[in-house]
Amino acid sequence: MRRTTLVLTLCLALIPAQSMAATKTPTPTPKTTVKATPTPTAKATVKATPTPTKKATVKKKKKKKPVAPSPSPKWPPLGFKVMDDIYYRTPTVEVMMNAGNSSLAKAIAACKEFSCGRLQIASLIGCVYWEIDSKVITPNPDIAGSYLTLGMLRTLAKKSAPKEVVTLVLPSGELYSGTIAVVPLGITCHQDATTETVPSNTYLRR
């Protein structure tokens, strides 16, 4: 519309002024206004392609099975003798071999060279360390049924918990002989620490 109006104004300006006085004033004719109908433009329809969504992977957590507590040891231990709160016995060789202790297995191996004793001990209250005094004996060839004392052995063993069974090898300084025996005489469960070396074995020959 703005451009059409501008063109009509320029045409009227080109007519001379005198011709407007000599001629009859023409009857104005109605102007026909032509409105341009805008051509409809086709709208492009854009279809959005749905983006595939990844399904969330749900990992199921495996429930941990509760660890069953270790069965408490039978008490008092079978076959043990008791003195005050101390339990003790002389285990069989089979029991010694099945104890499953590497340091114990090493001690047992030394008994192929030296005469040894064997002992299992336990306490109701536990011990800071153990002390075992033993006598090393052999049969007296002059008096039947009597024994000769070859020496004394003092063994110190590590601490133990209440009711824990400790298996010990008592190695003497005597060469192996089927006639030599190591006999425990005293077992002490100490409740105080010591400056001595634990574990240790001290043998005094007579």
pTM of the complete model:
0.64
50-90 pLDDT, tens per residue?
555 656 665 666 666 666 555 566 787 889 999 889 999 99
3-state helix, strand, coil in the chain (%, to 5): 15, 35, 55
Q: What is the pLDDT confidence band of residue 104, given thresholds at 50, 70 and 90? A: confident
Residue 18, token pair as written in the block? 């005198």
CATH topology of domain 81-205: Immunoglobulin-like (2.60.40)
Q: Which residues of 68-91 are buried (b: 16+ CB within 10 A; e: fewer)?
A: eeeeeeeeeeeebeeeeebbbbeb
Count CB atoms within 10 A of the CB of residue 151.
Answer: 16
